Amino acid sequence: MPSLSGCHSGCRLSGLRPLKHTQRTLSLFLLLLLLFCATSLAAGQTEAVRVVLCAEDGSVMNETTVAYQWMEANLPVYGDGTTHYYHQGPVFEGDKWDRNETTNFKDKGAVKGTDIRDLCDLVGGVSPGDDVMVHAVDGYHVEFCYENVYSPQQRQGPMVLCWYDGETGYPPDYFAGLRIVFFADDMVFGNWDMHECLPLKSQHFFGDLKPSTGGLSVRWVDEIGIYAGGYTGEHGGPAKSMPTQTPGSSQAPGFGAVSATTGLLLVAFILRWGRVR
């Protein structure tokens, strides 16, 4: 007849194995959930843009929100869905401005979209001395002056908010949309084009050293802000939304980072708790 102590010991050990297995399963599940959330946050495609006209005191004078379907149906369409447009990355050897446009082209796709000028006109337009901010969901932003939006040189071309790519279609399949692309006359908006067309405050530099028009092709655009009298805040870095939150926005700034950090700490705690037990 088996001893009661052996049975008790065996039952206790057999009970521990499922417990540890459950802990590992739970930890794996939370880790996968964290990765899923991080991926979801990274996928920032937009399908509509909020256009805001701000007075010099920062108050909102006029605003509207339009989806890409409305833009395509009601405003002039730029691009044919076949012709590819390019920006240029930094040049690390030779002339950093690469006047002859010879290297490091960034294909922005066979895109179609809407001129930023036409969107600005929906809320009253831009006047000389005003600035136009193009703002993305991740906080990145760039600012342009009146001339670059309303009377661009041919080598710059119109600034187009693209909502279609010939290879992927419309958002959300068009992963980078809504995206700014400069429709230069030769289909390449190069670094020297930027030098010749944009004021220094609007130019983009990789590592503050090498010019790169790639940084001006903002993806996941959610807002276009017109600042009467010019934009006086920080240029080129993370920025908050225009006055008042974007309609339909339910996530506070920084929430994603906080959630990810909390999730990692939770996983670490569970794993450590399992070892202690």
* Section 222-234 average pLDDT: 91
Rg (CA), the chain: 26
Residue 42 to residue 137: CA distance in whole angstroms: 10
pLDDT surpasses 60 at 25:
no
Q: Identify the pLDDT of residue 243.
A: 52
Task: Give the confidence band of 207 by pLDDT, cuts at 50, 70, 90.
Answer: confident
pLDDT surpasses 90 at 263:
no
Q: Identify the pLDDT of residue 67.
A: 98
DSSP string spanning 87-155? EE----SS-TT-TT--S-EEE--SEEEEEHHHHHHTTT---TT-EEEEEETTS-EEEEEHHHHHS--TT
Query: Could you tell me which CATH number the domain at 46-246 has?
Result: 3.90.420
Task: Extract the tokens encoding 135.
Answer: 């703002």
**Portion of the chain with pLDDT greater than 70, in percent:** 69
Q: Identify the pLDDT of residue 277.
A: 45
Q: Identify the pLDDT of residue 255.
A: 32
Residue 53 to residue 63: CA distance in whole angstroms: 6
Of the ranges 21-35, 72-86, 118-132, 231-245, which one carries the lowest mean pLDDT score?
Answer: 21-35
pLDDT surpasses 90 at 86:
yes
Task: Give the confidence band of 195 by pLDDT, cuts at 50, 70, 90.
Answer: very high
Task: Tell me which of 267 and 115 has the higher pLDDT.
Answer: 115
Task: Tell me which of 8 and 161 has the higher pLDDT.
Answer: 161
Give kind and range of the element (H or E) at residue 246: none
* Section 174-199 average pLDDT: 97
Task: Give the confidence band of 232 by pLDDT, cuts at 50, 70, 90.
Answer: confident
pLDDT surpasses 50 at 245:
no
Q: Identify the pLDDT of residue 27.
A: 53
pLDDT digits (tens, 9 = 90+) for 118-129: 999 999 999 999
**What angle do helix axes 4-42 and 255-276 make, rounded to 10 degrees?**
170
pLDDT digits (tens, 9 = 90+) for 138-158: 999 999 999 999 999 999 999
Tell me the pTM: 0.73
Residue 174 to residue 196: CA distance in whole angstroms: 31
Pairing of strands 221-227, 48-54: parallel
Residue 67 to residue 19: CA distance in whole angstroms: 51
Q: Where are the domains of the chain?
A: 16-41+257-276, 46-246
pLDDT surpasses 60 at 231:
yes
